[in-house]
């Protein structure tokens, strides 16, 4: 839904950063975010001042004593002057801002480094960001601009973390179905995709259906929450609903900027390794959604005391920590590599036993290996479970397509694939017997899963129907080949006569 002229400007911004010597997209996004924050700081200051004047109140600007840090004061400087001014005066200033929403970003700026290498690149970037006029856009467009910037993050991090496709996140959020009044957490939040999509899912619930517009990928727009009429509900949504933790300080800053630009006024994003001993939260959240790092590991001596699995594999420890974070009755949606489903180690088996016997495992959705390309080709699955109780039966779904080609290019096909069918069948699974294991979805009794060593891989239970192929007798095939060879010889002789 992002206008073509805005897309063109963002593409131009990326081109400038790449040609200007910043090849790492994560570094580029971080530096762009600093500039966006500098621009937004003055925009919001002006808006708040006008509101205060309209109410007849006194307003204390964040720029008192630092007027030369206003974007409008230095955006017209020549390149060398701008470089020196931003690096030595403005950048140190934004680390000190302590005022409402603006504090969220600046409080995580302590170790931030200004890394734009060339005066000409800074000048060109400032010009493009000024043209984008982000703060003046509506909430939808502000979020879309930043999401479009983030779409260039196409390489996996050193710990196996990477950006989850938006349509996969939307599917998982739809399955868990969060609502106002619930506390929602992502213990490995990255760019905050799960939290933002949860917010948008809730808003869409409370937006008149005739107002919502969907783009070709199924993403809702113009979700204004017009049916949320009480201020206290907005306060809950903006201040006490979304909680994220991330052990990469760059990602923390990016997540904060992403959430603020999507309209979440006071997101709770903290720098924290949720597997470490320093993390003390337990049984606090109604909803946990995540795509934790697949191939990371943690020092054994630093593993949180609340984690019982005898392993250093983060893909196992994160799932156990997610169980710990949920209140009884809380729901979880998590992406795991296939190895978690069938791994034979004691830790793998114990985790699966924990999910089946201490929770109600509601769904195992097997996804094709191309979903995370070009980051990785690993096969994955989505687990959906509720903490407490015991699993009676598990619903399996074999996703064959997700709306994009499954090669490295990930070309748009229809943006949906099996996802609408998954959501619809999951919602109505209680009304279906689904005992035929030859189809895309079916139930498996928990007793059968337990008998199979708690194996949760769909291939263990899906029946493959083989079609009998009838071949001609070998003598007939040989005779046909001989006749074909004779015909070729005749044609060759005819050609020779014509030469």
* pLDDT of res. 158: 45
Residue 137 belongs to domain spanning: 4-150
> Which tens digits make up the pLDDT trace of 409-420?
888 899 899 999
- The two tokens of residue 233 are 């509900």
The full length of the chain comes to: 499
* pLDDT of res. 278: 95
CA dihedral 31, 37, 38, 43 (to 10 degrees): 150
Give the CA diameter of the chain: 105
How far apart (Å, rounded) are the C-alpha atoms in residues 474 and 137?
Answer: 72
Specify whether 409 is located in the same domain as 299. yes
End residue of a domain, out of 91, 117, 150: 150
Which CATH number characterizes residue 140's domain?
1.20.1260
* pLDDT of res. 159: 43
In this prediction, residue 1 has a pLDDT band, given cuts at 50, 70 and 90, of low
Q: Is residue 360 in some structural domain?
A: yes
How far apart (Å, rounded) are the C-alpha atoms in residues 411 and 338?
Answer: 24
Q: Which residues contact 318 (CB under 8 A, 6 or more apart)?
A: 187, 188, 274, 275, 290, 292, 293, 334
In this prediction, residue 421 has a pLDDT band, given cuts at 50, 70 and 90, of very high
Mean pLDDT of the 166-171 span: 94
The whole-model pTM stands at: 0.88
Which CATH number characterizes residue 392's domain?
3.40.50.150
Count of structural domains, the chain:
2
Specify whether 54 is located in the same domain as 184. no
Specify whether 179 is located in the same domain as 219. yes
Q: Where are the alpha helices (DSSP H) in 68-192?
A: 71-74, 79-85, 91-94, 101-106, 119-132, 139-150, 166-176
Q: Is residue 472 in some structural domain?
A: no
DSSP-based helix, strand, coil % in the chain, nearest 5: 45, 15, 40
Specify whether 342 is located in the same domain as 278. yes
Q: Which residues contact 218 (CB under 8 A, 6 or more apart)?
A: 167, 170, 415, 416, 419, 420
> What count of other Cβ atoms lies within 10 Å of the Cβ of residue 479?
12
Q: Is residue 435 in some structural domain?
A: yes
> Which tens digits make up the pLDDT trace of 197-219?
999 999 999 999 999 988 887 88
Specify whether 199 is located in the same domain as 64. no
Specify whether 370 is located in the same domain as 437. yes
Query: What radius of gyration do the chain's Cα atoms show?
Result: 27
Provide the 3-class DSSP secondary structure of residue 52: helix
In this prediction, residue 467 has a pLDDT band, given cuts at 50, 70 and 90, of low
Chain mean pLDDT for the chain = 90
Specify whether 56 is located in the same domain as 187. no
Q: Is residue 492 in some structural domain?
A: no
* pLDDT of res. 434: 62
Specify whether 235 is located in the same domain as 94. no
Nearest alpha carbon to residue 13 among 132, 156, 169: 132
Specify whether 232 is located in the same domain as 366. yes
In this prediction, residue 378 has a pLDDT band, given cuts at 50, 70 and 90, of confident
Half-sphere exposure of 320 (CA within 13 A, CB side): 26
Which of 338-342, 354-358, 473-477 shows the lowest mean pLDDT across its residues?
A: 473-477
> Which tens digits make up the pLDDT trace of 279-337?
999 999 999 999 998 776 788 899 999 999 999 999 999 999 999 999 999 999 999 99
Mean pLDDT of the 236-251 span: 93
End residue of a domain, out of 150, 185, 220: 150
In this prediction, residue 475 has a pLDDT band, given cuts at 50, 70 and 90, of confident
Q: How far is CA 249 from CA 109, 269, 314, 338, 352, in A?
A: 9, 11, 19, 29, 32
Specify whether 220 is located in the same domain as 291. yes
> Which tens digits make up the pLDDT trace of 439-461?
899 999 999 999 999 999 999 99
Specify whether 443 is located in the same domain as 306. yes
Q: Is residue 156 in some structural domain?
A: no
- The two tokens of residue 369 are 């290996």
Q: Estimate to the nearest angstrom the gap between the alpha carbon of 128 and the chain centroid.
A: 27
Q: Is residue 330 in some structural domain?
A: yes
Which of 9-18, 323-332, 428-437 shows the lowest mean pLDDT across its residues?
A: 428-437
* Higher per-residue pLDDT: 486 or 402: 402
End residue of a domain, out of 150, 185, 215: 150
> What count of other Cβ atoms lies within 10 Å of the Cβ of residue 372?
24
Q: Is residue 490 in some structural domain?
A: no
In this prediction, residue 495 has a pLDDT band, given cuts at 50, 70 and 90, of confident
Query: Is residue 160 over pLDDT 50?
Result: no
Specify whether 201 is located in the same domain as 102. no
How far apart (Å, rounded) are the C-alpha atoms in residues 291 and 76?
Answer: 43
Q: Is residue 496 in some structural domain?
A: no
């Amino acid at each position: 839904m992002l206008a073509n002229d805005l897309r063109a400007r963002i593409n131009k911004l990326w081109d400038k950063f790449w040609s200007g010597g910043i090849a790492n997209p994560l570094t580029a996004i971080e530096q762009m975010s600093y500039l966006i924050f500098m621009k937004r700081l003055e925009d919001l200051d002006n808006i708040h001042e006008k509101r205060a004047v309209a109410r007849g109140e006194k307003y204390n600007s964040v720029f008192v004593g630092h007027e030369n840090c206003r974007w409008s004061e230095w955006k017209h400087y020549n390149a060398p002057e701008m470089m020196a001014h931003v690096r030595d005066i403005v950048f140190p200033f934004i680390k000190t801002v302590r005022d409402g929403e603006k504090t969220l970003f600046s409080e995580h700026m302590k170790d931030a480094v200004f890394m734009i290498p060339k005066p000409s690149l800074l000048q060109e970037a400032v010009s493009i960001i000024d043209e984008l006029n982000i703060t003046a856009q509506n909430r939808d467009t502000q979020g879309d601009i930043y999401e479009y910037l983030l779409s260039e993050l196409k390489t996996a991090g050193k710990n196996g973390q990477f950006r989850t496709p938006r349509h996969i996140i939307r599917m998982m959020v739809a399955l868990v179905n969060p609502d106002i009044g619930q506390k929602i957490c992502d213990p490995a939040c990255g760019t905050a995709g799960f939290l933002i999509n949860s917010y948008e899912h809730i808003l869409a619930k409370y937006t008149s259906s005739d107002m919502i517009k969907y783009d070709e990928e199924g993403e809702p727009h113009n979700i204004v929450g017009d049916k949320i009429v009480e201020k206290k509900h907005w306060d809950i949504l903006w201040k006490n609903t979304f909680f994220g933790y991330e052990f990469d300080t760059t990602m923390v800053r990016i997540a904060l900027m992403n959430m603020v630009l999507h309209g979440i006024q006071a997101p709770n994003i903290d720098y924290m390794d949720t597997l470490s001993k320093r993390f003390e939260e337990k049984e606090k959240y109604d909803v946990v959604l995540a795509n934790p790092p697949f191939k990371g590991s943690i020092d054994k001596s630093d593993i949180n005391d609340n984690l019982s699995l005898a392993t250093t594999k983060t893909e196992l420890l994160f799932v156990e920590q997610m169980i710990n974070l949920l209140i009884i009755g809380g729901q979880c949606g998590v992406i795991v590599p296939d190895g978690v489903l069938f791994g034979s180690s004691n830790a793998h088996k114990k985790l699966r036993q924990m999910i089946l016997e201490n929770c109600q495992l509601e769904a195992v959705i097997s996804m094709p290996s191309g979903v995370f390309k070009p980051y990785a080709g690993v096969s994955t699955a989505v687990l959906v479970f509720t903490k407490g109780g015991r699993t009676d039966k598990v619903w399996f779904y074999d996703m064959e397509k997700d709306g994009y080609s499954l090669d490295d290019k990930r070309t748009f096909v229809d943006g949906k694939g099996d996802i609408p069918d998954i959501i619809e069948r999951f919602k109505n699974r209680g009304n279906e017997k689904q005992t035929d294991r030859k189809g895309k979805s079916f139930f498996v009794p928990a007793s059968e899963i337990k008998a199979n060593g708690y194996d949760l891989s769909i291939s263990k239970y899906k029946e493959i129907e083989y079609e009998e192929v009838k071949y001609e007798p070998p003598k007939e095939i040989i005779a046909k080949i001989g006749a074909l060879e004779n015909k070729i010889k005749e044609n060759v002789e005819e050609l020779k006569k014509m030469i």
